[in-house]
Amino acid sequence: MAKILIVDDEQGMRQLLSLVFGRANHLVRAAESGRRALEMLRAEPADLIISDVKMPDLDGIEMLRAVREFLPDVAVIMMTAFATVEAAREAFKLGADDFIQKPFDIDELKLIVEKALERLHLLQENRAFKRAQRERGRLDQIIGRSPRMQAVYQMIETVAGVQSTVLITGESGTGKEMVARAVHNLSPRVDKPFMPINCGAFTETLLESELFGYVRGAFTGATANRKGLFEAADKGTIFLDEVGEMSPTMQVKLLRVLQERKVRPVGAHEELAIDTRVIAATNRDLQAMVKQGTFREDLFYRISVIPIELPPLREKTEDIADLIEHFLQKFVAQTGKTVNISEKSVELLEHYSWPGNVRELEHTIERAVALERSGTIQPESLPQQVTHYSPARIASAFDLPDEGINLTAHLEQLEKTYILEALRRTNGNQTRAAEVLHLSVRSLRHLLDKHGIRNLTAQLRSDAVGRGAAE
Ligand SMILES: Nc1ncnc2c1ncn2[C@@H]1O[C@H](COP(=O)(O)OP(=O)(O)OP(=O)(O)O)[C@@H](O)[C@H]1O
Ligand SMILES: [Mg+2]
């Protein structure tokens, strides 16, 4: 059922069309002039307009032009006894869906109307879908425009539509749970539960009853049946966090569930069929665990059907500024304080190695906002490990702090610091910077890409040119 407005100065035509489309169960109104039609549409919009072109006060083309201003999506069919090429062209330009010449066969007009309504329906559906997608995008709030994150977004979109098990790997705090939720939210399972469970936080027996449930009397204290998470997340998604922490016995049980798509609650005789999508995550190197024999190879292949690898923050330093901005907004909104951040502070944050990744950055900003009194986060309000982070000093002193260091992170950071220094000294001249570092230009470029600082060389060069001109 659609809302249709008929516009014609001929009373006979208005009556005929009102009758025909009223009988087809549409809500029909009629106007005797373009001017009257505009009034009626302003009071109450329509889905479709069937309008004459030649009318005394405001002709159909002029009316359509005015309508498009406030009803951009309305479907329009023009009819005229004087079908001039010019009028038709003008009507189409203004987005009329069709054009019919009087006198016409009423069945032909009915067909044209049907087609136009179908198109309108598709358009509306598409809009609603896009809006829903945008909503979800906002909910997920995954920040980062680096190429590594772009690849992650693509993977999320690809795997959202399929049923396969996904394995998300990445260091602590890289956003594994966030990505798991995004996959669920973009999947057809979005209206069903997303159930996260930390496999490392339970003893073997507890984990089993958490995952698969139990029946009354299965063990002391089991006074009633209880659903497991697999069942609770039926038609939805279960997120097995820290899957690398599962005991060998649980690994076997999980493998069976994935193979058979059935679970057996503790103490039950019958198995239950389940339709639960599994997303697993780990910050351990499962492949290495397979080699050591601590993680089952068959289970590894089962869960790693589609792997998503999240980069550590130190490998996407170009995202740090966006993340700072994002967390700043978040905590400013939470605390009601007005706080911004100095350039020097951002620079320090960009150069730190972030062993705790995005979570550590988030906590750093949270703390800085909470403690800030001046309204601007200065380096003094940042944690010592950030402000005193000097890889060169650590390397020359060979001091290994008691709490240990993240060797990979330090070496990466050290590499970047040397490259930045070489570029600064050579005003961004890559050939000379490569010489200083005893590298081939090609290797240097490779490293610039790796650290996401290739653009910097151009900037340094133009800065140098600018300085030269000023001097
Ligand atoms: N790209 C990102 N954009 C915005 N926030 C992020 C991003 N990545 C991570 N975060 C935030 O960092 C915090 C840690 O993320 P999450 O819990 O998903 O990490 P994790 O990989 O599951 O960590 P762990 O291994 O310690 O469980 C969360 O508050 C999350 O919102
Ligand atoms: Mg997590």
- The string of pLDDT tens digits covering residues 182-196 is 999 888 898 889 999
Tell me the CA–centroid distance for residue 334 and ligand 2, in Å: 23
pLDDT at 427: 81
Tell me the CA–centroid distance for residue 196 and ligand 2, in Å: 9
Which of 146, 171, 177 best tests ligand 1's pocket when mutated (most atoms within 8 Å of CB)? Answer: 177
- The string of pLDDT tens digits covering residues 99-128 is 888 889 999 999 999 999 988 888 887 777
Residues of the chain with CATH 1.10.8.60: 314-387
- Residue 251 exposure: Cα atoms within 13 Å on the Cβ side: 21
Which residues form the pocket of ligand 1, taking CB atoms under 6 Å from any ligand atom? 141-144, 170, 172-178, 283, 326, 358-359, 362
Asked if residues 136 and 163 have their Cβ atoms less than 8 Å apart, the reply is no
Q: How far apart are CA 64 and CA 331, in angstroms?
A: 49
Tell me the CA–centroid distance for residue 97 and ligand 2, in Å: 52
- The string of pLDDT tens digits covering residues 434-446 is 887 888 888 899 9
User: What residues pair up with 282 in beta bridges, in sequence order?
Assistant: 169
Tell me the CA–centroid distance for residue 304 and ligand 1, in Å: 21
Report pTM: 0.60
pLDDT at 258: 94
> Has residue 170 got a pLDDT over 60?
yes
3-state SS class at 17: helix
Which band of pLDDT confidence, cut at 50, 70 and 90, is reported for residue 391? low
User: What residues pair up with 214 in beta bridges, in sequence order?
Assistant: 226, 266
Which listed CATH number (2.60.40, 3.30.2010, 1.10.10, 1.10.3470) goes with 404-470?
1.10.10
**Phi, psi dihedrals of residue 331, rounded to the nearest 5°:** -80, -25
Residues in the chain: 471
Residue whose CA lies nearest to ligand 1 atom number 10: 175
In order of 392, 399, 417, the CA distances from 396 in angstroms are 6, 8, 14
> Has residue 308 got a pLDDT over 70?
yes
Q: Is 3.40.50.410 the CATH number for 3-125?
A: no
Beta strands in 250-299 (DSSP E): 262-263, 272-273, 277-282
pLDDT at 256: 94
Residues of the chain with CATH 3.40.50.2300: 3-125
Asked if residues 143 and 326 have their Cβ atoms less than 8 Å apart, the reply is yes
Which of 310, 319, 359 best tests ligand 1's pocket when mutated (most atoms within 8 Å of CB)? Answer: 359
Average pLDDT for the chain: 88
Residue whose CA lies nearest to ligand 1 atom number 8: 175
Residues of the chain with CATH 1.10.10: 404-470
- The string of pLDDT tens digits covering residues 245-287 is 999 999 999 999 999 999 999 999 999 999 999 999 999 889 9
Asked if residues 148 and 170 have their Cβ atoms less than 8 Å apart, the reply is no
Residues of the chain with CATH 3.40.50.300: 148-311
- Residue 269's closest CA among 222, 211, 208, 214? 214
Which band of pLDDT confidence, cut at 50, 70 and 90, is reported for residue 393? very low
Note the CATH number of domain 148-311: 3.40.50.300
Q: Which of the ligands is closest to the CA of residue 355? A: 1
Residue whose CA lies nearest to ligand 1 atom number 12: 359
Q: How far apart are CA 80 and CA 387, in angstroms?
A: 77
Residue whose CA lies nearest to ligand 1 atom number 24: 172
- CATH architecture of the domain 314-387 equals Orthogonal Bundle (1.10)
